[in-house]
Amino acid sequence: MCPADTETIGNGEPAWWKEAVVYEIYPQSFNDSDGDGIGDIPGVIEKADYLDELGIDVIWMTPPYDSPHADNGYDIRNYRSILDAFGDMDDFDRLLSELHDRDIRLILDMVLNHTSDEHEWFRKSRREEDGYEDYYHWVEGDPDQPPNNWTSGFGGPAWTYDDTREAWYLHLFHEKQPDLNWRNPEVRREMHDVVEFWLEKGIDGFRFDVFNVMSKPEGYPDGDPDGGWIGMEHFSDGPRIHEYVGGLYDDVLSAYDVMTVGEGMDITPRAAKRYCGPSGDGLNMVYHYDHTMLDYGDGGWWDIVDWEVSEIREALTKWVQQLEVTDAWNTVYLGTHDTPRIVSRFGNDDRYHYESATMLGTLLLTFPATPFCFQGDEIGMTNYPWSSREEMRDADATNRVELAFEEDSAEEFADVADVVRYRSRDNARTPIQWSGDAAGGFTDGEPWIPVNPASEEINVADQRDRTDSVLSYYQDLIELRHNEEALVYGVYDLLTDDHPRVWAFERSLGDERLLVALNWAGRTSRVDLSDAGEVTSILACNYDDPGTDLGALALRPYEARVFRLA
């Protein structure tokens, strides 16, 4: 595919990573090949044909490295080896070649900001071994008084006192995830070497975990105590961040034709343009959380508030409009391993399961950005009915629940159940439902996290055989995206900026004009889109017999239509 010679979104050069559909694999929950209850790399290889049939181009695999799994792999003990439970380096090499044989590329999650406290660098740093003293952020002082008021992303203070070194160390996440000190040139050199190691293996790029919090200001000033995540204004896009990101590009990434996507914490489009695009540090794109924070109230995680269709429409549209003027490329996702299931959060996982799961898929695959689909969303997997603390696994959710019990804001699970069921990241991490058999066909053993009982109705085996399934719809839409260059490079025009339920937009490239209309509600919505012109054909719809009169569109509950226009 190569865009026509005309005005396009992000007027820059065409690139494979702009045209790609990315599929996120969370290996421990994908497919278990050896019956230990934990998904593994041979398990992914077993499903390579499934991935090929789905039609995706790139896999983003969350960290497969050796790790104690305090935060499911985002706490790395050894950057150059594979977690035993996932297999070994031979398995990884085999996976890479099996995927490449099918023209599927592989990008790896790379955690630059922190390691595990079991990494040898931290073990040496804690003992102040020669050369390792400054690998992490250490502050001496009163063991009862942390150096500042910053909080961890998982709740509680961002500092832990270490009795061995008799000093505080910083961890923006779990206490077993100490932050690396990027001011230290040795740390930068080590991390550049790690990145190069994987590129030399032939992988196709990286998703850089929380990349824009790597630079912390000298003196660690207190954060705004009323901020949600206290300290964020100091460590997000910190003082030397462009030197670090640009340095990684100049030193290593620039020599390879790879895809790089940075996970931006509290990032704005303005800040994103300084990382990617022609005037950026060399990253291809970033992704943001604006549309996934809409249901957070002032009380943060515990505070679930209603959201409006207009808010998600505005949040995503703002990124398109602000990035396109500088050629910086955009990303779109609705769910990841860090969010609840999209059909439960943004759709209706009961009465309109098929309709809303496919409507969300339509948005994902027609939006002007590289789309990231999270495993299981292509069959419409749903949130899990959590009923006890023992079932939960995620450090973020369990930490917050423990704190609620310690602070006496909860006495029994029922007091937190609603929020956990809605918010917990574990919702995304229940195993892929391959079949309606025991353990959803994920494992022959005891799964590390419960399998959703919905697996009896919602599973790959059932959907693969049907042309009216969520899975078939995703396959069709992925193919459509590959065939219609306007969906990749076309200009985006929002047609309904004030409709309470309908989100309609046009994608145009030269003479090609496509119209996407989404009804984001469990009721029929009417809209007049006659200004867009005449429909010449219907490219996709999640209902039978869609009407084509744009002057009087009546979109059924969660209906999605993609039209070609004259």
For the four alpha carbons of 9, 330, 24 and 350, in that order, the dihedral sign comes to: negative
Task: Kindly tell me which of 111 and 365 has the beta carbon lying closer to ligand NOJ.
Answer: 111
DSSP state of 253: G
Q: How far is the CB of 502 from ligand NOJ (least distance, A)?
A: 32
Dihedral, 421, 424, 429, 434 alpha carbons, nearest 10:
20
Q: How far is the CB of 395 from ligand NOJ (least distance, A)?
A: 7
Q: Is residue 241 within 8 Å of residue 216, measured between CB atoms?
A: no
CA 476 to chain centre: 22
Residue nearest to ligand NOJ (CB): 74
Q: How far is the CB of 333 from ligand NOJ (least distance, A)?
A: 11
Task: Kindly tell me which of 426 and 485 has the beta carbon lying closer to ligand NOJ.
Answer: 426
Task: Kindly tell me which of 10 and 155 has the beta carbon lying closer to ligand NOJ.
Answer: 155
- Dist. CA 116–CA 174, nearest whole Å: 9
Task: Kindly tell me which of 52 and 338 has the beta carbon lying closer to ligand NOJ.
Answer: 338
> Tokens 């209902």 sit at which residue?
543
Structure tokens at 539: 């490219």
Distance from the first to the final alpha carbon of the chain: 22
Q: How far is the CB of 74 from ligand NOJ (least distance, A)?
A: 3
- Dist. CA 107–CA 61, nearest whole Å: 6
Closest by Cα among 19, 36, 91 to 61: 91
CA angle, 180 then 67 then 372, to 5°:
85
Q: How far is the CB of 66 from ligand NOJ (least distance, A)?
A: 16
- Dist. CA 509–CA 149, nearest whole Å: 50
Structure tokens at 563: 């039209």
Task: Kindly tell me which of 113 and 370 has the beta carbon lying closer to ligand NOJ.
Answer: 113
Q: How far is the CB of 345 from ligand NOJ (least distance, A)?
A: 17
> Tokens 């100049």 sit at which residue?
250
Task: Kindly tell me which of 216 and 481 has the beta carbon lying closer to ligand NOJ.
Answer: 216
Closest by Cα among 391, 379, 376 to 336: 376
407 is catalytic: no
- Dist. CA 343–CA 353, nearest whole Å: 7
**Where on the phi/psi map is residue 156: left (φ > 0), alpha (ψ -120 to 50), or beta?**
left
Q: How far is the CB of 216 from ligand NOJ (least distance, A)?
A: 16
Q: How far is the CB of 124 from ligand NOJ (least distance, A)?
A: 22
Q: Is residue 277 within 8 Å of residue 285, measured between CB atoms?
A: no
Task: Kindly tell me which of 286 and 480 has the beta carbon lying closer to ligand NOJ.
Answer: 286
> Tokens 């989100």 sit at which residue?
503
- Dist. CA 537–CA 552, nearest whole Å: 17
Q: Is residue 379 within 8 Å of residue 459, measured between CB atoms?
A: yes
Q: How far is the CB of 109 from ligand NOJ (least distance, A)?
A: 8
Q: Point out the catalytic residue in the list 209, 281, 290, 396.
A: 209
- Dist. CA 528–CA 555, nearest whole Å: 11
Structure tokens at 448: 């590390």
Q: Which residues pair with 351 in a beta bridge?
A: none
Task: Kindly tell me which of 30 and 74 has the beta carbon lying closer to ligand NOJ.
Answer: 74
Q: How far is the CB of 73 from ligand NOJ (least distance, A)?
A: 8
263 is catalytic: yes
Q: Point out the catalytic residue in the list 66, 109, 204, 263.
A: 263
Could you give the count of Cα atoms lying within 13 Å of 522 in the half-sphere of its Cβ?
Answer: 10
* Residues at the site binding ligand NOJ, with contacts judged by CB under 6 A: 71, 74, 111, 173, 209-210, 263, 337-338
Task: Kindly tell me which of 204 and 209 has the beta carbon lying closer to ligand NOJ.
Answer: 209
- Dist. CA 483–CA 479, nearest whole Å: 6
Task: Kindly tell me which of 235 and 558 has the beta carbon lying closer to ligand NOJ.
Answer: 235
Instruction: Tell me if residue 194 falls in helix, strand or coil.
Output: helix
CA angle, 221 then 224 then 230, to 5°:
85
Q: Which residues are catalytic?
A: 209, 263
